[in-house]
Chain A
């Protein structure tokens, strides 16, 4: 009976290589996740990265992770078609075991910019999302899945996201990446028990777990601190504490991926702390009683020639992006944007969305 494999998200930077090399040397990195969207900027990819991807791919230990497909964007555009073509090219180059993307839609129409925003969890967005994930599945020779999103405007959505993702992946027999730090952010920001949120997910569909650190930002007022999934710090102790229980609950989980951005190793101790967190994860998996219960993933699908467009949802998405970009503070958003029942939205989360929008979209 095999245990889940522990790996890392590979970053093409010198500092990342320095930090991770001792783990590669000791053979402890059992699987690699690669954010293949980075390939759109080939000049930034050093030769050692290609060699690592080939080696792990040849050993069926390479996972592909997308960022910019914008799976819940209500209007199909050439940007998404181009993204699929680039993914196809990457799957011909590297042997991925599976491909995943993020829940939500991108805040920018520009390719490779923006950040994922949540959507109303209703039938209209479900229809769009199913169309997009089927198109994704139809273009790759391996199972596909979705990662839960950290950001939410209101508490109701964090309780419902798991079931909604389950509906999205069902038509392709897809999987969920359960990102524990994303759920940690939600638990902290809305004052909810983290295990309550985790147990709200269809855990039989979890094939992969993500774990990382993050940081705190001011909310709408300086008294409120908002947790963000910035992948730039140490893993919170709470996530180490709950991981044994989560592993037992997710009986089909095959991979645990430790994430840290390649440009966040700025202090000599950062590499030491990175390896220390990785080794803690390795110890937890070794000591866990959980073994992987095999499950079949993926399904061949055929898609219609014309993608689904929902112009009403599209207009609302466009307006949300424009409103966030133009807003001076959260009151502007509440005043301008009422299509999605903003009465229960958190001013602090709107404040963060405005800040992110100005950071990534300008």
Chain B
């Protein structure tokens, strides 16, 4: 079932806030292992407004895998 863009954006924003929070916590423990994705929520919202396609979430890489979506 295709979800509405508004709902996906809400879910995405929740993930962003969660991962940002966990990254902050992780950074305090070990800053060498985490490469932050540079995509920002404002970019996503901008993309959402101009294009009906849903943008990729901002990946947060721990070693070689994104902890949010598993993308390697």
A254 smallest CB distance to B (angstroms): 14
Interface size classification for chain A: 20 to 34
Q: Which residue of B lies closest to A29 (CB)?
A: B1
Chain B residue at smallest Cβ distance from A276: B70
In the bound assembly, the distance between CA atoms of A14 and B20 in angstroms comes to 12
Q: Is A335 an interface residue (CB 8 A)?
A: no
B55 nearest CB neighbor, chain A only = A25
Q: Is the interface of A mostly helix, strand, loop or mixed?
A: helix
Q: In whole angstroms, how far apart are the Cα atoms of A31 and B67 in the complex?
A: 25
A59 to B7, CA, bound (A): 14
Contact status of A24 and B3, CB under 8 A, knowing A18-B15, A18-B19, A47-B10: yes
**CB distance B10 to A271 under 8 Å?**
no
B70: contacting residue among A22, A29, A55, CB under 8 A? A22
B69 interface residue per 8 A CB criterion: yes
A238 within 8 A of B: no
Contact: A27 with B3, CB < 8 Å?
A: yes
**Beta-carbon contact of B1 and A271 below 8 Å:** no
Looking at the assembled complex, report how far the CB atom of A47 sits from the nearest CB atom of chain B, in whole angstroms. Answer: 7
CB-contact partner of A25 in B22, B54, B65, under 8 A: B54
Query: Which residue on chain B has the smallest CB distance to residue A50?
Result: B10
Residues of A within 8 A of B3 (CB): 24-25, 27, 52, 55
- Of B2, B10, B18, B19, the residue contacting A51 (CB under 8 A) is B10
Q: Within the complex, what minimum Cβ distance (angstroms) separates A343 from chain B? A: 50
One of B1, B2, B4, B18 near A18 (C-beta < 8 A):
B18
- The distance in angstroms between the C-alpha atoms of A25 and B62, with both chains bound, is 22
Within 8 Å of chain A (Cβ to Cβ): is B12?
yes
> Inside 8 A of A132's CB, which chain B residues have their CB?
none
A46 and chain B: residue at smallest CB distance: B14
Interfacial chain A residues near B65, Cβ < 8 Å:
268-269, 272
Q: Which of B1, B2, B62, B68 contacts A21 (CB 8 A)?
A: B68
| Size category of the binding interface on chain B | 20 to 34
Contact call A30/B1, Cβ cutoff below 8 A = yes
B11 lies within 8 A of chain A by Cβ: yes
**Which A1-47 residues sit within 8 Å CB-CB of chain B?**
14, 17-19, 21-22, 24-25, 27, 29-31, 46-47
Q: Is the CB of B68 within 8 A of A48?
A: no
Contact A21 B7 (CB under 8 A): no
A56 at the binding interface (Cβ < 8 Å): yes
Known: A14-B18, A27-B3, A29-B1. A268 touches B11 (CB 8 A): no
CA–CA, A272 to B69, complex, Å?
7
Report the minimal beta-carbon distance from A32 to chain B, rounded to whole angstroms. 9
Q: When the two chains form the complex, which single residue of B14, B22, B69 contacts A48, counting CB atoms closer than 8 Å? A: B14
Q: Which B residues lie within 8 Å of A55 (CB)?
A: 3-4, 7
How far apart are A136's CB and chain B's nearest CB, in angstroms?
27
Listed by A's residue number, 9 A-B pairs whose Cβ atoms lie within 8 Å are A14-B14, A17-B11, A17-B14, A17-B15, A18-B69, A22-B69, A27-B1, A48-B10, A268-B63
Having A18-B67, A22-B70, one finds 5 other A-B pairs with CB under 8 Å, namely A14-B22, A51-B10, A268-B62, A269-B65, A271-B70
Interface set of A (CB-CB < 8 Å, partner B)? 14, 17-19, 21-22, 24-25, 27, 29-31, 46-48, 51-52, 55-56, 59, 61, 268-269, 271-272, 275
Q: Which are the 8 A-B pairs with shortest beta-carbon distances?
A: A272-B70, A14-B18, A27-B2, A48-B14, A18-B68, A48-B11, A22-B69, A271-B70
